[in-house]
Amino acid sequence: MNREQLRRTAFFFDFDGTLSAIGPDPEKVGPVPDAPEALRELAAHCGYCAVVSARPVAFLARQVGASSEAGASGEGPELHGLYGLEFSPDGGATVHTLPEAAPYREVMGVAVEEAKRALPGALIEDKGLSCAVHYRNSPDLAEAAEEWVEQYAREHGLKVQRGRMVVELKPPVQRDKGAVVRDALTRLPELAGAWFFGDDLGDRPGFEALSERAERAPQFTAVRVAVANTEGDPLGDLADLMLEGPQEVPGLVRRLLRAS
């Protein structure tokens, strides 16, 4: 890829399992070495660069944004949190919430408390606009967690999102990583290609949005990069490229930068 092609290419990155290794405590994970620095450099040279994650923007800002060690001035990747319900164009300095999701903060606060009471062995993550029930530390809770979340969602008109060892309550707003990708590609018609790096079920809509675009515009280069993990392979069937783990992502980004 030459410099001009890089300037016309977009890059989307999931965070957990893609830029960071998965850990037992979701609050204690951090990016693999060189990931924040490589992304900042990529963002300075490519057409568009974003981190699109299930995490809140405030968390992403600490990891790869303006309030991270590598961060400064608001340059670097755009941050899309909670599957696109939150967004920051400046590394987390300003955070925009999707207007239709904003009224659900209170509802989710209640859901977090109820989940803690109902599932004492699970790790309940309060994400502001969503409530994640993690059962990585107690896999025998999987069924109870799924059932509780399903029922709570039905009773309160919320949506359910599944990931690896996690099930989540979300506002009933139609927004996923695919919508984030489609919005960016629509805003930037000059783009000639896009890459999406992901590892989990929530990344499938992102992969699919790239495929749709490539089908409509055969000149458009779509590269779907699946980052492997030991807990299953939810993206392998859609991937153009497989990496063995998050630690390989910064190296690939550096190679792209060097080659251009």
Site residues, Mg ion (CB under 5 A): 14, 16-17, 199-200
Least separation, in Å, of the C-beta of 6 and Mg ion? 25
Q: Which residue is nearest to Mg ion (CB)?
A: 17
Least separation, in Å, of the C-beta of 199 and Mg ion? 4
Rank residues 152 and 208 by Cβ distance to Mg ion and give the closer one: 208
Q: DSSP states of 28-73 as a string? A: G--BPTTHHHHHHHHHHHSSEEEEE-SS-HHHHHHHHSTTSSS--S
* Residue that is written with structure tokens 């949506």 in the block: 159
Rank residues 36 and 47 by Cβ distance to Mg ion and give the closer one: 36
Q: Could you tell me the CA-to-CA distances from 76 to 36, 111, 235 in Å, in that order?
A: 9, 34, 27
Least separation, in Å, of the C-beta of 79 and Mg ion? 15
User: Would the CA dihedral through 238, 163, 254, 1 be positive or negative?
Assistant: positive
Rank residues 14 and 176 by Cβ distance to Mg ion and give the closer one: 14
Rank residues 6 and 85 by Cβ distance to Mg ion and give the closer one: 85
Rank residues 173 and 228 by Cβ distance to Mg ion and give the closer one: 228
The count of other CB atoms within 10 Å of the CB of residue 96 is 12
Least separation, in Å, of the C-beta of 244 and Mg ion? 15
Contact yes or no for 32/20 (Cβ under 8 A)? yes
Least separation, in Å, of the C-beta of 241 and Mg ion? 16
Beta bridge partners of 86: 81, 97
